[in-house]
Amino acid sequence: MGPKIKKRVLIRFFEFFVIGVVMGVAEDLLVIHFATDAVITPHIFKVALLVAFPFAVISELVVDSKVFRRLLFGPSDSSNKSSKKREKS
């Protein structure tokens, strides 16, 4: 894997990671507000951030892994095409 590809993969990881953290914090704050009628304070925001952070990391690593994609979508199309060419020969 070349340096350009590594950089693109790293940028993509951080893009989705940031989105995951923002969405996780927003979801947690909404749940806290509606379930408890609590006023959102900086302390509650910090707790929501601490809860959302590990889930964003884990979900990004799982979803971005090749194993997960193979389990969910099966083998890639390129490998299917090459195996069909071999069968025709």
The residue with greater pLDDT, 14 or 29, is 29
In which residue are the tokens 């959102």 written?
40
Q: What is the pLDDT of residues 28-41, one digit of tens each?
A: 999 999 999 889 99
Q: What is the pLDDT of residues 48-60, one digit of tens each?
A: 999 999 988 888 7
Give this prediction's pTM.
0.65
How far is Cα of residue 32 from the mean position of the Cα atoms in its chain? 23
The angle at the Cα of 50, spanning 34 to 48, to the nearest 5 degrees, equals 10
Give the residue among 58, 36, 60 at the shortest CA–CA distance from 47: 36
Which letter does DSSP use for residue 38 in this model? P
